[in-house]
Amino acid sequence: MSVYLDFNSSAPIDERVLEYMIGVYRNSYGNADSRTHDFGDSARRIVEDARGRVSSILGAGKDEVFFTSGATESNNIVLQGLKSYALESGKKHIITSAIEHKSVLETAKVMQLDGFEVDFVKPGLNGQVSAEEIISLVRDDTLLVSIMHVNNETGVIQPVKEIGQSLADLNTFFHIDATQSFGKLVDELRDTKYDMLSMSAHKIGGPQGVGALVLRKKQYKRPPVKGIMFGGQQEHGIRPGTIPVPLVAGLGKACQIAEEEYHDNQEKCEKIKCRILDILDESGIDYEINGDQTCSVPGTLNVCFNGVSSEALMLASRQYCGVSNGSACNSSSYSPSFVLTAMGIPIEKIENSIRISWGSSSDPNEVADAFENLVQVAKKLAF
């Protein structure tokens, strides 16, 4: 059976989360905003319990957490939701990086058409953007700095702590896309200053289609982000529409589990990475790792097998494992990874690079066997 090694695209749901969600689907079908009966109250309690779990893992306030359909929506709300404040204040400059998720990049590009000025900062060859460079670009009219915590393709950790520290006393909002770090780099996020944060439940063993936007308060006031859809007043109008109670419940349960287990989970992932690196070293194959391993998460590896087309490798090793060569959002048509391109990696090496990602639920022996097989296939394909 093929081993799943694409956790950064979507991690399998945790059985405990699924069990909990099934109970909610069966028993708590009320609308959390119905105030006229116990069914609504029961659904509301489940939603507020989940809100507490999200806020607890971040060390944020419960009233700072807003449920959305996931990080794409959260990122869109952050950028587009600041538009009216930008017009009032005359602050129309945004700083982001060239390796953000498309939900930030594409939204920022559309905002350029509306007169916003956007700096897309490139990372170094190590996959990390420079905090100093970002801070040096901040001006009086800088509305927002939006930087991801961990890159989804390379696993490289970005210097959000330094950026947050430098921006803390400035009149510029700081948004972190924490989709790949939430529930994993728990201590780091608790220790970082930011105004807004995005996450998706399905990266941490929760269900697909739900996530959160966190709006941190400063002097009792949250950032002036407005909802970008119109309808009901759910989630204070930040995200109108019926709250999907079972999905939100699943998100809360995944947070609870992550909060209890993140230390062990990181260790398990680290051990798997060591085994994969050992296999690579012992195989004698010509390879390089994309992204600086001294500042990377333990569950991701972006490997270039010199002389081996990633498309051919993925096809030929499909029976052993499911890996990728870029983020799922860009995979309908092949084009070289924009993340690796922005890092300055030559095109022929990008075409030879694959991303493997795993999680705490991965079986280390299964992963090692699958990876051994993948390397053997790569050896045969090498020219």
- Quick check: 157 and 125 in contact, CB under 8 A? no
198-201 own/partner pairs: CB under 8 Å, 24+ apart: 198/71, 198/74, 198/75, 198/78, 199/71, 199/74, 200/70, 200/71, 200/72, 201/70, 201/247, 201/250, 201/251, 201/254
Q: Judged by CB under 6 A, does residue 327 bind ligand PMP?
A: yes
Residue among 295, 304, 321, 329 flagged as catalytic: 329
Q: Judged by CB under 6 A, does residue 103 bind ligand PMP?
A: yes
Q: Closest separation between CB of residue 140 and ligand PMP, Å?
A: 29
Nearer to ligand PMP, 280 or 323 (CB): 323
Nearer to ligand PMP, 142 or 327 (CB): 327
Q: Judged by CB under 6 A, does residue 180 bind ligand PMP?
A: yes
Q: Closest separation between CB of residue 383 and ligand PMP, Å?
A: 32
CA dist list (Å): 265 to 56, 223, 297, 323: 18, 33, 12, 21
Among the residue ranges 37-45, 67-75, 77-85, 232-240, the one whose residues contact ligand PMP (CB under 6 A): 67-75
Nearer to ligand PMP, 154 or 265 (CB): 154
Q: Crossing angle for the helix pair 364-381 and 245-283, nearest 10 degrees?
A: 50
Q: Judged by CB under 6 A, does residue 28 bind ligand PMP?
A: no
Nearer to ligand PMP, 317 or 327 (CB): 327
Tokens coding 47: 């939603």
Q: Which of residues 186-225 bind ligand PMP (CB under 6 A)?
A: 200, 202
Tokens coding 57: 């893992």
Q: Of these, 53, 91, 92, 101, which contacts ligand PMP (CB under 6 A)?
A: 101
Q: Closest separation between CB of residue 286 and ligand PMP, Å?
A: 29
Q: Of these, 28, 172, 179, 266, which contacts ligand PMP (CB under 6 A)?
A: 179
- The closest of 348, 371, 321, 329 to 153, measured between CA atoms, is 329
- Quick check: 13 and 209 in contact, CB under 8 A? no
Amino acid at 262: Y
Angle at alpha carbon of residue 328, lines to 111 and 292, rounded to 5°: 85
Site track for ligand PMP across 126-165, x = CB under 6 A: ----------------------x---x-------------
Q: Closest separation between CB of residue 53 and ligand PMP, Å?
A: 18
- The closest of 221, 226, 245 to 236, measured between CA atoms, is 226
Q: How many CB atoms lie within 10 A of CB 161?
A: 18
CA 176 to CA 145: how far, in whole Å?
Answer: 9
Phi first, then psi, for residue 350 (nearest 5°) are -65, -40
Q: Closest separation between CB of residue 284 and ligand PMP, Å?
A: 33
Q: Judged by CB under 6 A, does residue 317 bind ligand PMP?
A: no
Among the residue ranges 13-21, 177-185, 236-244, 261-269, the one whose residues contact ligand PMP (CB under 6 A): 177-185
Nearer to ligand PMP, 66 or 320 (CB): 66
Q: Of these, 14, 32, 60, 72, which contacts ligand PMP (CB under 6 A)?
A: 72
CA 33 to CA 41: how far, in whole Å?
Answer: 8
Nearer to ligand PMP, 155 or 223 (CB): 155
To the query of whether residue 255 is one of the catalytic residues in this protein, the response is no
Residues classed as catalytic: 329
Residues of this chain that interact with ligand PMP (CB under 6 A) are 70-72, 101, 103, 148, 152, 177, 179-180, 200, 202, 327, 329
